Amino acid sequence: AVRSDLDRDWSPALSGYGLLMITVCSGITLLAGKPLVPPLTDTTYALVHGAVVIVVGTLMFNAGSRHVPAVPMTVFAQTEMVFVPVWALLILHETPKALTLVGGAVTFAAVVGKAVYDTRIAAPPPVPVPDVPLL
């Protein structure tokens, strides 16, 4: 078992852990000479991303999940990670590293392979044609 005491409630420790992480990350940021408050443009991008992109994507994913079984939907959701380097290249002009592209290719191949496999499984078996004349 991962936890030694399954009956113990660890939720009170979460706020302390959160405070510890805020303190450690703030200290590292300040020691690196960076400000704790991001520039206004970065904040605006983050707000637009959270308020529009994430909301619209989640609504579309949830609408699709009503019509697609859970396993294929979960596999399809992995394509998001495949396209992150593509969007970073096209929008932010960042060049992805070679291993990032390899990982994306492996994930994309798995998603396509699953789709092809599901298509072949879902296809009805061929109906045998009789060898005798019908007339």
Q: Is the pLDDT of residue 3 over 80?
A: no
The pTM of this model reads 0.52
For 40-98, give the DSSP string. HHHHHHHHHIIIIIHHHHHHHHHHHHTTS-HHHHHHHHTHHHHHHHHHHHHHH-PPPPH
**CA–CA gap between residue 100 and residue 85 (Å, rounded):** 8
**CA–CA gap between residue 76 and residue 68 (Å, rounded):** 10
Q: Is the separation of the CB atoms in 29 and 36 below 8 Å?
A: yes
Q: What is the pLDDT of residue 1?
A: 47
Domain extents in the chain: 38-122
DSSP-assigned letter for residue 97: P
Q: Above pLDDT 70, what percent of the chain?
A: 90
Write out the two tokens for 15: 């706020």
Helix (H, G, I), strand (E, B) or coil at 4: coil
Q: Above pLDDT 90, what percent of the chain?
A: 39
Q: What is the pLDDT of residue 134?
A: 60
Question: What residues contact residue 90 under an 8 Å CB cut-off, 6+ apart?
Answer: none
Place of tokens 């852990």: 17
Name the band, by pLDDT with cuts 50, 70 and 90, for residue 55: very high
Question: What residues contact residue 46 under an 8 Å CB cut-off, 6+ apart?
Answer: 38
